[in-house]
Amino acid sequence: MAKEDTNYGLEANSEIKEIAAPVFDYQPLKPESFRPKIGLIGCGGITTNHLNAYRQDKLEVAAFCDLNADSAEKRRKEFYPEATCYTDYRQLLDRGDIEVVDIALHPGPRAAVIEAALHAGKHVLSQKPFALDLDVAEKLVALADEKGLKLAVNQNGRWAPYVRYIQLAIDAGLIGEIHVVNIFLNWDHTWI
């Protein structure tokens, strides 16, 4: 290919019209009447995103818990200065005013803390995976059902605009019958 042809296929074509994507509301529903106090268990890096979302939606985080007291204190100072800090998650779970716990721990101890939270009568939002074993996961789901509590797993991609757009486009019949979907994402998980 000659040097002058290095932009092959990249030059503007005035005959091609831009096709705008349909506008869909891709954000999750936000209940108007349920404004629970939240307790955060695990105050690592990802929780900055959680706390920004809670603050944006004007939800109250009443307590922070981390084995590293400095991590809990850092999040408290930055986001909710009136909150209380703990290093033992059981103290947070003992609080009657906290209805929801956001469990942002590493996978190893996560299932045991979720189980304790459900036994304490708390709704749970967990990082993924919420359990490392299918039998344990099924028991946690059954426990949440038995107690009448919500057990949600933070599938952050679920509400990402591109994923939600695809789901809504499928629901609207814009794509046709779907038999299988493969999504490949390359995220760095070396922190685990």
Residues 5-44 have pLDDT tens digits of: 555 454 555 665 665 666 666 666 777 788 999 999 999 9
Complete domains list, the chain, with CATH = 37-156 (3.40.50.720)
Name the average pLDDT for the chain: 86
Cα–Cα distance, 110 to 107 (Å, whole number): 5
Cα–Cα distance, 29 to 169 (Å, whole number): 18
- Which residue from 71, 112, 74 is spatially nearest to 93, judged by alpha carbons? 112
Residues 63-113 have pLDDT tens digits of: 999 999 999 999 999 999 999 999 999 999 999 999 999 999 999 999 999
Check 128, 139, 147, 150 and give the catalytic one. Answer: 128
Q: What is the pTM of this model?
A: 0.76
Structure tokens at 46: 């990802």
Rounded mean pLDDT, 123-144 = 96
pLDDT at 132 over 80: yes
128 counts as catalytic: yes
